[in-house]
Structure 1
Amino acid sequence: MRTAIVVGAGIGGVTAAVALEQCGWQVTVLERAPELGEVGAGISVWPAALAVLDELGVEGVARAARLGSGAGMRRADGRWVVDASALGVELPVMIHRAELHRLISERLGSAVTIHTGTTVSGLTQDADGVTVLAGDTQYRAELVVAADGIRSVVRGLLYPQYKGARYSGYTAYRGIAEVETLDDGGETWGRGQRFGFAKLVDGRYYWYATANRPAGSESDDVRERFAGWHDPIPALIAGSSGVLRNDIYDLTTPLVPFVQGRVLLLGDAAHAMTPNLGRGACSAIEDAGALARVLRRGDELSAYDAERRPATTKLVKRSRQVGVVGQLDNPVLCALRDGVFGLGGKLAGLSARRRRSERAPAAQ
């Protein structure tokens, strides 16, 4: 049986381990955290990623997820800029991040061994395989998949001159709220701040917010930041038992090659992006699906890079661009932005209604 090491056991790492095992590989997973798990926040899973999970036999996602509402975009006072309910756009499902991680991890079989509390510090490779150093222990395998995040140790060892992560200029806040509201969710854009929320299958609400701030700033009160925004935003924040706060970084482009010898980069280690498109974890899942296809076809690993690097480079750039527009602070530019989006939404709605009319059967 062929052997592989997966560095990192986040959503991308465990999905890669499932994919490798199903391709007939013996897999060792090295995770630096003391136990498996994910942070307590929601996540959007788009159809392409759902298809990969289905191919890998991951069960229960549909039961644990709720279809997103796609409600649209509002101003801070609650007035609609774009009402997306009639656009007919593709929508993701919403699920708790920890629940998705659990469902994927349950698909791991006896050919996967997981070592937690294990921090990788070195890596060497030769014609026969790769040696990974973690403390005083060495691990040896034919293939290494680096899924160790935006500040990937493995990527740093492979490409020491790469600039790596860069700060986006804004901080993100996330929470899970237990509140009663009839609002279907959506996003609200203000000046240098945004707020979005969506309902989970268990009735709770996942919410997220962004605010322009210098990197490394001291913690602030997110309740004060959004106190004057439309309902139910203040109630969602107040109804949360805890708030996660993270400065937002992505990787500089051009991205480095995702394959070097017998080492392969996956997920944020390869293409960390801002969360503006909600595609980060989905892209990691899609990476694992691409890896499985490459291995089953018996292709060179370079085929993985040829497929995934162009696709994810586009997402990194698009997500960064959305963030620039979304975090505008100048009142004139914000008004222009909202006007353009409002007009675009109306035109898109007309186009969607025309398509539905053309597809409708003729009256008898």
Structure 2
Amino acid sequence: MPRSPARRVAVVGAGIAGLTLAAALGDDVEVTLHEARPERAGLGASLVLWPSALRALDRLGVRPLLGERMTAAGSGRVFDAEGRPLTRPHRMPLHVVERPDLLAALTASLPRRARLVEAEVDDPEELDADLVVGADGVRSRVRGLVDPRRAGRRGTPWVALRGALATRPAPADVGEYWGPGRLLGLVPSPAGGYWFATHCDDEGVEPLDVDTALRQAREVFSGAGGRARDVLASADPATTSATRLWTAPPLRRYASGRYVVVGDAAHAMTPNLGRGACDAVLDAVRLASALRSGRGTAGYEARRLPPTQAARVASGALMRLALLDRGSGARDRALRTVGAVRRGGRR
């Protein structure tokens, strides 16, 4: 792609990846963001940001705009179904931000040449641009132009629920509670805190009915002890979302010709690693850097495909481990043994 101030980039999707890319490209590039449903920016969900993403947002001038709307995630750990610790608290300095707040900060950082167009892109091939970027999520239409054999999203047998907590979780309660075939997590957020729960359920089509999904989750967690059962029992359907988890297919390339994919369009994964927002930001800044340096989309692909595909695989493996049913007892014993060995090695 020629290095010219007149180059044109069409971005399909104005979520985290698309907005970050536009902000990172700056005024040297004419960027048009195509978003079919801009009202979704107001839909809330707490997002985890890793240190690498925070550094990237800092360089773009976005992090200061978040201010007190971002909070530390705390040192979470894994508990068993009864609330007994299986692992030691992690020390990673993770932060949590509400999705609408991050999108608002990114939008405020857009360069003057960036345009936001409210429009559905039915055929990305018709976009008049030097480069077409698929930032259009797991249902990406651009992905099929990068690799026609890997165009469709992949279903999973897992249903995920998320909801707001009435109060901020105590530091000792932060983390994930793994039971036979189920997990529940508690995380602090700028608004106080949120919970998430996942279990296997092959029934039901999207959109899932929240009341039905909550009722089924309460049945699945009825034998759980500690916080899990109490959290679901008090969950308010008005502040709860329910969705089936979908992932992107494994890709061997992120770019082909004038088409390139970023974020969930490239590597949508299960949420177990908490890297969705982080990798969307990192994809965007790496692509912008590669375009500015002349390395182009090949340079971006070389930097981002290996780590993100590895994360996609690892996240799925972690989900399967967390949701073990018959083998959950052996899993818990193994985690406790590993923790005991690590503690002994530090004496």
TM-score > 0.5 by shorter chain: yes
Instruction: Tell me if 1:307 matches 2:303.
Output: yes
Asked if 2 retains the 8 angstrom alpha-carbon contact of 1:67 and 1:93, the reply is yes
**CA separation of 1:212 and 1:223: change in aligned 2, threshold 3 A:** same
Asked if 1 retains the 8 angstrom alpha-carbon contact of 2:41 and 2:99, the reply is no
Deviation at 1:123, TM superposition (A): 3.2
Q: Secondary structure at the match of 2:150?
A: coil
Residue number among 48, 52, 68 corresponding to 1:48 in the alignment: 52
**CA separation of 1:166 and 1:9: change in aligned 2, threshold 3 A:** same
Instruction: Tell me if 1:121 matches 2:129.
Output: no
Q: Which amino acid in structure 1 is aligned with residue 157 of structure 2?
A: G
Supply the distance in 2 between the matched residues of 1:96 and 1:227 (Cα, whole angstroms): 30
**CA separation of 1:102 and 1:54: change in aligned 2, threshold 3 A:** same
CA RMSD of aligned residues (A): 2.1
Matched residue, 2:105: 103
Matched residue, 1:229: 224
Number of equivalenced pairs: 331
Matched residue, 2:331: 337
Asked if 2 retains the 8 angstrom alpha-carbon contact of 1:40 and 1:175, the reply is no
Unmatched 5+ residue regions in structure 2?
1-5
Residue number among 213, 236, 240 corresponding to 2:201 in the alignment: 213
Matched residue, 1:20: 25
Instruction: Tell me if 1:262 matches 2:263.
Output: no
Matched residue, 1:189: 178
Deviation at 1:174, TM superposition (A): 0.7
Supply the distance in 2 between the matched residues of 1:141 and 1:277 (Cα, whole angstroms): 35
User: What is the TM-score normalised by the length of structure 2?
Assistant: 0.88
Instruction: Tell me if 1:6 matches 2:1.
Output: no
Matched residue, 1:135: none
Q: Secondary structure at the match of 1:81?
A: coil
Q: Which amino acid in structure 2 is aligned with residue 191 of structure 1?
A: P
Supply the distance in 2 between the matched residues of 1:65 and 1:212 (Cα, whole angstroms): 32
Instruction: Tell me if 1:252 matches 2:249.
Output: yes
Matched residue, 1:328: 324
Q: Which amino acid in structure 1 is aligned with residue 164 of structure 2?
A: I
Matched residue, 1:362: none
Supply the distance in 2 between the matched residues of 1:180 and 1:94 (Cα, whole angstroms): 13
Asked if 2 retains the 8 angstrom alpha-carbon contact of 1:32 and 1:119, the reply is yes
Asked if 1 retains the 8 angstrom alpha-carbon contact of 2:273 and 2:315, the reply is yes
Supply the distance in 2 between the matched residues of 1:208 and 1:93 (Cα, whole angstroms): 17
Residue number among 160, 165, 186 corresponding to 2:153 in the alignment: 165
Supply the distance in 1 between the matched residues of 2:20 and 2:65 (Cα, whole angstroms): 15
Farther-moved stretch of structure 1 (316-325 vs 339-348): 339-348
Higher-helix-fraction structure: 2
Q: Secondary structure at the match of 2:291?
A: helix
Deviations 1:106-164 (A, max 9, x none): 11132111112x1111133xxxxxx42xxxxxxx2221111001110111244332263
Deviation at 1:226, TM superposition (A): 3.1
Asked if 1 retains the 8 angstrom alpha-carbon contact of 2:168 and 2:193, the reply is no
Q: Secondary structure at the match of 1:44?
A: strand
Q: Secondary structure at the match of 1:5?
A: strand
Deviation at 1:184, TM superposition (A): 4.1
Farther-moved stretch of structure 1 (27-36 vs 284-293): 27-36
Q: Which amino acid in structure 1 is aligned with residue 7 of structure 2?
A: R
Farther-moved stretch of structure 1 (269-278 vs 104-113): 104-113
**CA separation of 1:311 and 1:228: change in aligned 2, threshold 3 A:** same
Matched residue, 2:73: 68
Deviations 1:26-59 (A, max 9, x none): 1111001153505322111001111111111112
Matched residue, 2:167: 179
Asked if 2 retains the 8 angstrom alpha-carbon contact of 1:4 and 1:28, the reply is yes
Deviations 1:227-278 (A, max 9, x none): 553444445442543211111121232x141111121100111111111111
Deviations 1:253-308 (A, max 9, x none): 2x141111121100111111111111112111100110122122122321111111
Q: Which amino acid in structure 1 is aligned with residue 140 of structure 2?
A: S
Q: Which amino acid in structure 2 is aligned with residue 288 of structure 1?
A: A
Structure (1 or 2) with the larger CA radius of gyration: 1
Unmatched 5+ residue regions in structure 1?
125-130, 133-139, 355-364
Q: Secondary structure at the match of 2:115?
A: strand
User: What is the TM-score normalised by the length of structure 1?
Assistant: 0.84
Q: Secondary structure at the match of 2:82?
A: coil
Deviation at 1:72, TM superposition (A): 0.8
Farther-moved stretch of structure 1 (3-12 vs 58-67): 58-67
Asked if 1 retains the 8 angstrom alpha-carbon contact of 2:25 and 2:288, the reply is yes
